[in-house]
């Protein structure tokens, strides 16, 4: 027993002596100035950017390592002068066996809480595109007391460390638009592991803010062979996204006027290159809610439109362009589908093709959400295409299509106020059509069987040649132009009734229309002024 304890004690003493010897020997085995120069020159050569740090120090426990203090990686001069990456301390662990033989080899580079700035210019170029590209002119050497070195071609120095770990990093993404506009997102809690080789393997996770969007990267590969720079290296990975609410994320892109909220999830496959990545897959928004303040609404003026699941199938991202082969959602028993393309350059430009709206309840949209005075009820069926810019939707809206509404009623607030004066409106209609319409049946004039027609929109101007309002009492054919932003119109209206037909020219605005009855169309025996007054009251129902 005593002999066994003696052997154990002796072994511990030997281990302790060896540990002490290692602690004493490491500073002599590691030539600190040479290592400092090696690290700075190798890193600068690999990245094509100046790499500087204030000082280096050696640590022994828990593993021998070199610590780099006040580490910075320079920015591409075309994007500014602030560092691309900076952190307080980076650690390069040393391989023990080569060290005992008097050689310095590194195994893992650990970057704790680095701050990285990713910039995208208005032309779509990223600041990472020049990483790994040798400078055309020699870079200045290190300042006294700091590491630094000249950039060089190739990626041979990538073997400086076989593994790189980023812990709790922060990435600020800045998208520069036209006129100096900036869009900022921030990736926080970035944990990333990179394993070197002919193919760099990558995995990790992070959170995107604003919006608290969780992102997980798996099976990442960056093919370095044959690439002149990191930006040109082919990339592949699987990306999973999961967010409880996208409201803050959308607000950065669209502004605070309109809020889009709700959970989001999806799986994407990454491709392309590091400088120009692509993504494809499926993204789904569970019950998105669109909220905006509508001045025309009575209190509450803040109104919300709740959609069913919004699903983007065959979604893809490439060269600043988001597209989806199929976008589907539902609302109030109706369905909406389209294919979408959005160019995210200086202005977000959206194009919707193969638009198909079926049985959409218009009253819930036009009255409850938008509070339009000219609103109608009934189910909408529509097919066509639309395109617009997010900065000014009404003035940039363009497209073509055809629609059918009905059966339904004129239910706008201003129209309902007029319908409340049933006798007066009934008298106007009677004068207009020279028909003795009993007051008890006038309510049916606010009801219609259908509204049908085709349309073309060019930069916010809607043109129709065959819009037809059909009810039990009358038919109204409309042709002409209407400007969405200003409400100005230039229309020809033909009102048909079993007693005759009246044609009128309608100009001005929807709020204050100017009506001129065509004399040749007035039914014989009618007072023209009464006809114009009746038409004006009729038009007010659509304000």
Q: What average pLDDT does this structure show over 138-155?
A: 36
Q: Given this model, what pLDDT does residue 372 score? A: 76
**Residue partners of 29: CB distance under 8 A and separation at least 6:** 99, 100, 102, 104
Q: Which residues pair with 383 in a beta bridge?
A: 356, 402
Asked if 360 and 331 touch (Cβ cutoff 8 Å), the reply is yes
Between 45 and 267, name the one with better pLDDT: 267
Asked if 509 and 536 touch (Cβ cutoff 8 Å), the reply is no
Q: What average pLDDT does this structure show over 9-31?
A: 46
Q: Given this model, what pLDDT does residue 487 score? A: 81
Q: Given this model, what pLDDT does residue 430 score? A: 46
Share of residues in the chain with pLDDT > 70 (%): 69
Residues 286-334 have pLDDT tens digits of: 989 999 888 878 899 899 999 999 999 999 988 878 899 999 999 999 9
Q: Given this model, what pLDDT does residue 536 score? A: 63
Q: Given this model, what pLDDT does residue 499 score? A: 63
- Band (518; pLDDT cuts 50, 70, 90): low
Mean pLDDT, the chain, whole residue set: 76
Closest CA to 68 of 45, 97, 39: 39
Largest CA distance in the chain: 133
Between 27 and 331, name the one with better pLDDT: 331
Task: Average the pLDDT over each of 184-198, 250-264, 340-354 and give the range with the smallest value.
Answer: 250-264
Is pLDDT at 437 greater than 90 in this prediction? no
Is pLDDT at 447 greater than 60 in this prediction? yes
Rounded distance, CA 199 to CA 82, Å?
30
Q: What separation in angstroms does the CA of 57 have from each of 27, 30, 91?
A: 10, 11, 10
Q: Given this model, what pLDDT does residue 241 score? A: 94
Q: Given this model, what pLDDT does residue 495 score? A: 76
Q: Given this model, what pLDDT does residue 313 score? A: 93
Q: Given this model, what pLDDT does residue 2 score? A: 52
What is the distance between the terminal CA atoms of the chain, rounded to a whole angstrom? 104
- Band (426; pLDDT cuts 50, 70, 90): very low
Task: Average the pLDDT over each of 129-143, 260-274, 339-353, 429-443 and give the range with the smallest value.
Answer: 429-443
Is pLDDT at 141 greater than 80 in this prediction? no
- Rg of the chain's alpha carbons, rounded to an integer? 35
- Band (480; pLDDT cuts 50, 70, 90): very high
Highest mean pLDDT of the ranges 55-64, 211-220, 458-467: 458-467
Is pLDDT at 135 greater than 50 in this prediction? no
Q: Given this model, what pLDDT does residue 305 score? A: 92
CB-side neighbour CA atoms (13 Å) of 72: 15
- Band (17; pLDDT cuts 50, 70, 90): very low
Is pLDDT at 36 greater than 50 in this prediction? yes
């Amino acid at each position: 027993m005593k002999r066994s304890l003696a052997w154990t004690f002796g072994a511990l003493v030997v281990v302790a002596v060896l540990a002490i010897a290692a602690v004493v020997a490491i500073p002599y085995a590691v030539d600190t100035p040479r290592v400092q120069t090696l690290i700075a020159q190798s890193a600068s050569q690999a990245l094509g950017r100046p790499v500087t740090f204030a000082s280096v120090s050696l640590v022994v426990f828990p593993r021998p390592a070199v610590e780099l203090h006040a580490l910075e990686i320079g920015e591409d001069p075309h994007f500014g002068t602030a560092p691309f990456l900076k952190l307080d301390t980076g650690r390069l662990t040393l391989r023990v066996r080569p060290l005992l033989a008097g050689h310095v080899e590194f195994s893992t580079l650990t970057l704790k809480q680095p701050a990285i700035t990713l910039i995208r210019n208005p032309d779509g170029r990223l600041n990472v595109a020049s990483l790994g590209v040798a400078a055309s002119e020699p870079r200045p050497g290190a300042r006294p007391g700091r590491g630094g070195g000249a950039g060089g071609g190739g990626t041979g120095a990538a073997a400086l460390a076989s593994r790189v770990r980023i812990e709790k990093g922060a990435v600020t993404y800045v998208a520069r638009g036209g006129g100096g506009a900036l869009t900022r997102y921030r990736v926080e809690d970035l944990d990333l592991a990179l394993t070197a080789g002919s193919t760099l393997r990558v995995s990790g996770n992070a959170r995107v803010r604003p919006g608290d969007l969780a992102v997980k990267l798996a099976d990442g590969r960056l093919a370095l062979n044959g690439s002149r720079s990191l930006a040109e290296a082919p990339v592949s990975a699987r990306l999973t996204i999961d967010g409880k609410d996208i409201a803050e994320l959308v607000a950065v892109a669209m502004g605070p006027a309109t809020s889009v909220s709700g959970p989001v999830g999806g799986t994407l496959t990454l491709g392309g290159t590091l400088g120009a990545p692509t993504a494809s897959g499926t993204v789904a928004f569970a019950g998105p809610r669109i909220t905006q303040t509508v001045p025309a609404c009575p209190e509450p003026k803040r109104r919300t439109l709740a959609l069913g699941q919004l699903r983007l199938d065959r979604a893809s991202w490439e060269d600043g362009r988001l597209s989806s082969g199929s976008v589907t959602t539902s609302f109030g028993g109706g369905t909406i589908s389209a294919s979408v393309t959005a160019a995210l350059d200086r202005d977000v430009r959206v194009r919707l093709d193969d638009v198909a709206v079926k049985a959409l309840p218009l009253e819930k949209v036009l009255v409850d959400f938008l509070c339009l005075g000219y609103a109608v009820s009934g189910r909408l069926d529509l097919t066509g295409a639309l395109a617009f810019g997010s900065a000014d939707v009404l003035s940039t809206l363009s497209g073509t299509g055809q629609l059918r509404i009905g059966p339904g009623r004129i239910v706008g607030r201003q129209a309902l106020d007029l319908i409340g004066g049933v006798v007066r409106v009934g008298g106007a209609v009677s004068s207009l059509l020279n028909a003795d319409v009993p007051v008890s049946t006038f309510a049916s004039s606010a009801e219609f069987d259908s509204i049908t027609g085709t349309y073309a929109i060019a930069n916010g101007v809607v043109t129709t040649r065959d819009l037809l309002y059909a009810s039990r009492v009358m038919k109204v054919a409309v042709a002409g132009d209407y400007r969405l932003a200003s409400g100005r119109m230039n229309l020809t209206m033909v009102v048909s009734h079993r007693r005759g037909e009246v044609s009128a020219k309608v100009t001005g605005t929807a709020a204050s229309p100017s009506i001129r009855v065509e004399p040749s169309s007035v039914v014989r025996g009618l007072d023209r002024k009464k006809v114009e007054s009746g038409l004006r009251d009729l038009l007010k129902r659509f304000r």
